[in-house]
Amino acid sequence: MDFLIGDDLAALRSRVRTFVDERIIPVEDRIVAEDQATGASATLAGLQQQARDAGLWTPHLPVEHGGLGLGIMGMCALFREMGRSMVGARVFHCDAPDQGNMDLLLKAGSAAIRERYLGPLVRHEITSAFCMTEPAPGAGADPSNLRTRATRDGDDWVIEGHKWYSTGAGAASFLIVMARTSDDPRTGASMFVVDRDAEGLEHVRDVEVMGPPLLAHREAELRFHGVRVKPDAVLGEIGQGFLLAQERLIPARLTHCMRWLGLAARALEMSRAYIARRESFGKKLAQHQFIQKMLADDALAIHSGNLMTLHCAKLLEAGNALEARPYSSMAKTHVARTLCKVLDDAIQMHGSLGYSHDVPFSLWYRWARASRIADGPDEVHQMVVARDFLKDRMRLLV
Ligand SMILES: Cc1cc2nc3c(=O)[nH]c(=O)nc-3n(C[C@H](O)[C@H](O)[C@H](O)COP(=O)(O)OP(=O)(O)OC[C@H]3O[C@@H](n4cnc5c(N)ncnc54)[C@H](O)[C@@H]3O)c2cc1C
């Protein structure tokens, strides 16, 4: 595997890095504060315009849709840089869930759906949400528990059900909704694009969670009371819901890993700077072996997560999605745990300062803790790895 990237991509990465360091990080606290006070941020909007002017808007999209046609390896290079700020991906408009939803509409949306939603979504005139998870006993870690049901009525489909943790659904203009269309275990689910203002769609509440709201990331609970959609609202074909979910989730998982690696690397750099200047027991913290061990363990974990992510991206780029699956589970589990561990260690190395809001680690940790649950909890990804390894379907020494 070649770890070198081409000159063009290296130059692009360096531009993104400079943009994040010089323009985003100095104002990231202001962006979050403005958003929390008013639900919008003028500072963020200004930076988004700068990203457009710099030709860095939606870089993940194909060129004909206004992006840079990066491919997943190119996304690895750029998303890690953007992830160094919690609001970085939002500035370039390649944050979850909109980024994955754009890809899904491009891949499986009917002409009518693409015309209605894709352009406005790419231009960020509207936002979107992805609705799969349901409160117990519905779909969660196990999607086969799916209870939301779509039934045919004439040409239309009518959706009844209950969802929660639909990130950003409160403010979104449309939702991608996973619903049961038959009881077949493989082909029993389908995806529908539903207008957020559709009759019968109830926004019950935004669920209060461990981390404070971050930009559009509020976790909505929704009820569908006989919500009617036209046949062209189906993504792909009826019965392809589980398949499309896998196709959306594997690259989406990797893009999470890239952003999380960026944040973990920045936290470790901040810890390195602190331990190089703070003294205890007659020497710098950086000279104490316990501290060096923490630093080395974290560096090792970030580097391994980076390699896992690159390897899996390489498989996806070569079109080997099936082979990539257990590696994506491995990368997701490892990188999510690494992010939480690095942030916890950053708090530890900074002592009482680390626990305070004078530095961002406790806030980042509260957001980051979701990474071990969202898009499949650790245990389910470990189950996938164990299953594939037991069946001798994955090579450990690639
Ligand atoms: C911040 C955040 C944002 C999210 N955004 C979205 C979104 O936009 N759209 C969406 O559809 N969903 C979203 N989710 C939901 C997320 O994908 C689910 O939480 C996840 O799939 C797990 O489902 P669950 O919470 O129902 O857990 P459950 O299914 O109730 O599982 C509970 C726990 O049981 C354990 N467990 C489950 N299965 C196994 C097993 N096989 N072996 C061992 N242990 C097991 C795990 O520890 C798991 O955490 C979000 C979640 C969070 C936290």
- CATH code assigned at 193: 2.40.110.10
pLDDT of residue 260: 98
| Nearest atom (ligand 1) to Cα of 134 | 26
The C-alpha torsion from 81 through 91 and 270 to 254, rounded to 10°, is -50
Confidence of residue 230 (pLDDT cuts 50, 70, 90): very high
Q: Are residues 166 and 216 in the same domain?
A: yes
Confidence of residue 214 (pLDDT cuts 50, 70, 90): confident
- Spell out which residues line ligand 1, taking CB within 6 angstroms: 97, 130-133, 136, 140-142, 165-167, 219, 370, 373-377, 379-380, 383
Q: Please tell me the total count of domains within the chain.
A: 3
CATH of the domain at 251: 1.20.140.10
- Sign, Cα dihedral of 323, 324, 326, 330: positive
Q: Are residues 265 and 154 in the same domain?
A: no
d(CA 380, CA 132): 16
Q: Are residues 386 and 248 in the same domain?
A: yes
DSSP notation for 330-393:
HHHHHHHHHHHHHHHHHHHHHHHHHHSTTSSHHHHHHHHGGGGTTTS-HHHHHHHHHHHHHTT-
Distance 153 CA to ligand 1 centre (A): 32
Q: Are residues 292 and 360 in the same domain?
A: yes
Confidence of residue 4 (pLDDT cuts 50, 70, 90): confident
- Asked whether residue 309 is domain-assigned, the answer is yes
Distance 375 CA to ligand 1 centre (A): 7
Q: By the 8 A CB rule, do 261 and 372 touch?
A: no
Write down which residue in 201, 235, 269 finishes a domain.
235
pLDDT at 1 exceeding the cut of 80: no
Q: Are residues 258 and 362 in the same domain?
A: yes
Region 310-316 average pLDDT? 94
For a ligand 1 pocket test, name from 164, 165, 249 the mutation site with the most ligand atoms within 8 angstroms of its C-beta.
165
The region of weakest confidence among 147-161, 190-204, 212-226, 257-271 is: 212-226
| Nearest atom (ligand 1) to Cα of 211 | 1
Q: Which residue has the tokens 């939803």?
A: 101
Host domain of residue 87: 7-100
pLDDT in tens, 375-398: 999 999 999 999 999 999 999 998
Q: Are residues 255 and 378 in the same domain?
A: yes
- Asked whether residue 230 is domain-assigned, the answer is yes
Write down which residue in 235, 257, 280 finishes a domain.
235
For a ligand 1 pocket test, name from 133, 134, 178, 224 the mutation site with the most ligand atoms within 8 angstroms of its C-beta.
133
pLDDT at 2 exceeding the cut of 90: no
pLDDT in tens, 92-113: 999 999 999 999 999 999 999 9
Q: Which residue has the CA at smallest separation from atom 49 of ligand 1?
A: 377
- Asked whether residue 116 is domain-assigned, the answer is no
pLDDT at 275 exceeding the cut of 80: yes
Region 278-289 average pLDDT? 98
pLDDT of residue 215: 86
| Nearest atom (ligand 1) to Cα of 376 | 21
Region 344-369 average pLDDT? 97
Confidence of residue 342 (pLDDT cuts 50, 70, 90): very high
- Asked whether residue 105 is domain-assigned, the answer is no
Q: Which residue has the CA at smallest separation from atom 1 of ligand 1?
A: 370
Write down which residue in 100, 119, 150 finishes a domain.
100
CATH of the domain at 62: 1.10.540.10
